[in-house]
Amino acid sequence: MNKKKLAVLVSGSGSNLGALIQAVNGGVIKNAGISLVISSRQDAYALIRAEKAGIPALCIRQDEHILEKLGKFEIDAVLLAGYMKIVTAPILEAYKDRILNIHPSLLPEFGGKGMYGMRVHEEVIKAGAPVSGCTVHIVTENVDAGPILGQATVPVLPGDTPDSLAVRVLKEEHILYPRIVGEFVDSFLLNNDQTLSSWKSRL
């Protein structure tokens, strides 16, 4: 069986990329490999992570050029990992139901335009929420509103700062994202005649 080819889109340090690379190497993601990493920023440390892992890594800002590279590398699914750009229609249409994202809150709470990175944790604490966490979802034209594939929760502790909460949530992201990606590959990408909704019903 040929392994599916994944592309990871990044903008920053790439800690989730690192977790995904470890998951591929450790067999958590068994039937796919990371074939391409694309960053929206030239100075993103994620590019160095990719290069150290022997993965082709490029800085591309225009979606039409990203789509061209995805086609050239015969990518089967796209994973957003700290990608700070909104994916536009051409990529969404070409990879319908095959673009995943990890968001640092329990969607649908604390999601949508402008809600990313430390802003999310700031709003969670400001709202007095007792729990937070992370969500893996399918990317659609509506920001952070696509079908949810999995979530993990963490308590919001007395005295938490956005930084301390972020550390706890990120730890769960590194566990949740690889697990969901592995299940997504095995149960959806490897069954071309299966719809996303039928796969989700088995979760």
Confidence check: pLDDT of 202 > 60: no
The answer on pLDDT for 203 being more than 60 is no
CA 180 to chain centre: 10
What is the rounded CA–CA span in Å between residue 37 and residue 46?
8
* Residue that is written with structure tokens 């993990």 in the block: 152
CATH number of the structural domain 4-103+136-148+174-198: 3.40.50.170
| One-letter-per-residue 3-state SS of 157-179 | CCCCCHHHHHHHHHHHHHHHHHH
- In single-letter form, the type of residue at position 8 comes to V
Q: What pLDDT, on the 0 to 100 scale, is given for residue 19?
A: 97
Position with higher pLDDT, 133 vs 113: 133
pLDDT band of residue 200 (cuts 50, 70, 90) is low
**Direct distance between the N- and C-terminal alpha carbons of the chain, in angstroms, rounded to an integer:** 24
Query: Tens digit of pLDDT for each residue in 162-194?
Result: 999 999 999 999 999 999 999 999 888 877 645
Q: What is the mean pLDDT of residues 149-168?
A: 96
Q: Which residues contact 35 (CB under 8 A, 6 or more apart)?
A: 5, 6, 7, 55, 56, 73, 74, 75
Q: 65, 64, 47: which is closest to 56 by C-alpha?
A: 47
Q: Give 58's strand partners.
A: 38
What residues are labeled active site? 103
Q: How many residues does the chain have?
A: 203
Q: What is the pLDDT of residue 1?
A: 61
Residue 84, SS3 per DSSP: coil
- Residue 192: the pLDDT is 61
pLDDT of 198 above 70: no
136, 149 contact by CB (below 8 A)? yes
Sheet with 32-39, strands from edge to edge, namely: 57-59, 32-39, 4-10, 77-80, 99-103, 131-138, 148-155
Confidence of residue 201 (pLDDT cuts 50, 70, 90): low
pLDDT digits (tens, 9 = 90+) for 54-95: 999 999 999 999 999 999 999 999 999 999 999 999 999 999
Give the model's pLDDT for residue 190.
76
What are the residue ranges spanned by the domains of the chain?
4-103+136-148+174-198
For residues 47 and 34, what is the distance between their CA atoms, to the nearest angstrom?
13
